[in-house]
């Protein structure tokens, strides 16, 4: 595992956007795995700036979703599909035909999870998966004590995560779905390059456990230690509890 300490979130965003742009120059139809939440926004902004300046071509790029709420229609403004369309696909000039994600509105959620894992494999696998991290060490919606070999599946959100995400639902916790589909940790580990970005002091304990703790389900992100090509990009605040 490689750890890169950057001065701030903007520098982290620029660094990772640079890696994504390099990948797209080598592999124009690369499959980029993307996360939602606040942390990755500087990455998407920096990559969009490169697209606007013409220094990277995204016309053949493909995007894969990490997780999705269960029960929200796909066109709900807070479904992760809608969020990613607004924050990633449109700014990068990538059409929905190049997007893949689990069907959070499926009647048979288990079948939808299995279908998504199959679709990822049939697409050739994720080339670069961008990850954020929860304050408790979760990646995707693999909360603490998720199996480190888990596949894409339905999970129940913890009350803390629903409270954290209420900010996207006008502060109304009761509007936040109880369930999500998330790529499993085993699924995430199949990406060829994992890049985790963490910024701010609130992530410092989780980063210390991820990088220096034992590989343990109590810190799902510690599974990155088992990956042959994992990069953890942290600002100085998030790195502050590393030895
Ligand atoms: C969302 C996701 C989550 C977030 C994590 C951190 O797709 O994968 O694991 O990355 O909850 O969220 P922020 O970045 O908002 O602190």
Catalytic residue among 68, 87, 143, 235: 143
- Give the distance (Å) from ligand 1 centre to CA of residue 119: 23
Q: Whose CA is nearest to atom 10 of ligand 1?
A: 132
Q: Is 97 a residue of the active site?
A: no
Catalytic residue among 136, 164, 190, 205: 136
DSSP count for the chain of H helices, then E strands: 8, 10
- Give the distance (Å) from ligand 1 centre to CA of residue 19: 20
Catalytic residue among 87, 117, 127, 138: 138
Q: Whose CA is nearest to atom 4 of ligand 1?
A: 132
Structure tokens at 119: 């679709």
Is pTM, for the whole model, over 0.95?
yes
CA–CA gap between residue 26 and residue 31 (Å, rounded):
12
Could you give the ipTM of this predicted complex?
Answer: 0.99
Which whole-number Å values give the CA distances from 36 to 82, 85, 147, 218, in the listed order? Answer: 11, 11, 22, 22
Structure tokens at 15: 């660094």
- Give the distance (Å) from ligand 1 centre to CA of residue 140: 7
Q: Which of 79, 133, 165 to mutate to test the pocket of ligand 1 (most atoms within 8 A of CB)?
A: 133
| 243 DSSP 8-state letter | -
Domains within the chain, CATH numbers bracketed: 2-190+202-235 (3.40.50.1360)
Block mean pLDDT (10 aa), the chain, length 243: 98 98 98 97 98 98 97 93 98 98 95 98 98 96 96 94 92 96 98 98 98 98 98 98 97
Structure tokens at 233: 């990009």
The pLDDT, as a whole number, for residue 111 is: 97
Q: Which residues of 102-127 are buried (b: 16+ CB within 10 A; e: fewer)?
A: bbbbeeebeebbeebbeebeeeeebb
Structure tokens at 167: 């900010």
Q: Is 22 a residue of the active site?
A: no
Catalytic residue among 67, 87, 103, 127: 67
Short-list 203, 215, 214, 195, CA closest to 241: 203
Cβ(236)–Cβ(5) below 8 Å: yes
Short-list 160, 156, 181, 176, CA closest to 68: 181
CA–CA gap between residue 138 and residue 132 (Å, rounded):
8
CA–CA gap between residue 136 and residue 104 (Å, rounded):
24
Q: Is 75 a residue of the active site?
A: no
Structure tokens at 56: 């990277």
- Give the distance (Å) from ligand 1 centre to CA of residue 133: 5
State how beta strands 2-6 and 230-235 pair.
parallel
Q: Is 2 a residue of the active site?
A: no
The pLDDT, as a whole number, for residue 209 is: 98
Please give the number of the atom of ligand 1 that sits closest to the Cα of 141. Answer: 9
The pLDDT, as a whole number, for residue 160 is: 87
Which whole-number Å values give the CA distances from 194 to 4, 79, 135, 146, 188, in the listed order? Answer: 13, 24, 19, 18, 8
The pLDDT, as a whole number, for residue 74 is: 87
The pLDDT, as a whole number, for residue 179 is: 97
The pLDDT, as a whole number, for residue 149 is: 98
Please give the number of the atom of ligand 1 that sits closest to the Cα of 35. Answer: 7
Give me the residues paired with residue 207 across strands: none
The pLDDT, as a whole number, for residue 161 is: 87
Give me the residues paired with residue 5 across strands: 234
């Amino acid at each position: 595992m490689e750890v890169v300490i950057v001065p701030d979130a903007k520098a982290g965003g620029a660094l990772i956007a640079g890696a994504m742009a390099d990948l797209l120059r080598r592999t124009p139809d690369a499959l980029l795995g993307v996360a939602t939440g606040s942390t990755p926004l500087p990455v998407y902004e920096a990559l969009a700036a490169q697209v606007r300046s013409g220094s990277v071509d995204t016309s053949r790029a493909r995007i894969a979703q990490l997780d999705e709420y269960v029960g929200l229609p796909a066109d709900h403004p807070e479904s992760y599909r809608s969020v990613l369309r607004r924050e990633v696909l449109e700014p990068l000039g990538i059409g929905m035909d190049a997007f893949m994600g689990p069907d959070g509105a499926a009647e048979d959620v288990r079948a939808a999870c299995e279908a998504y894992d199959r679709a990822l494999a049939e697409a050739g696998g994720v080339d670069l998966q961008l990850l954020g991290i929860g304050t408790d060490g979760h990646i995707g919606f693999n909360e603490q004590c998720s199996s480190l070999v888990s596949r894409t599946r339905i999970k129940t959100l913890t009350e803390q995560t629903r409270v954290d995400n209420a900010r996207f639902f006008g502060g109304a916790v009761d509007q936040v779905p109880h369930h999500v589909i998330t790529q499993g940790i085993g699924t995430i580990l199949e990406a060829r390059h994992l890049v985790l970005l963490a910024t701010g002091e609130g992530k410092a304990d989780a980063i210390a456990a991820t990088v220096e703790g034992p590989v343990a389900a109590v810190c799902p992100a510690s599974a990155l230690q088992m990956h042959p090509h994992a990069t953890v990009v942290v600002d100085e605040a998030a790195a502050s509890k590393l030895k």
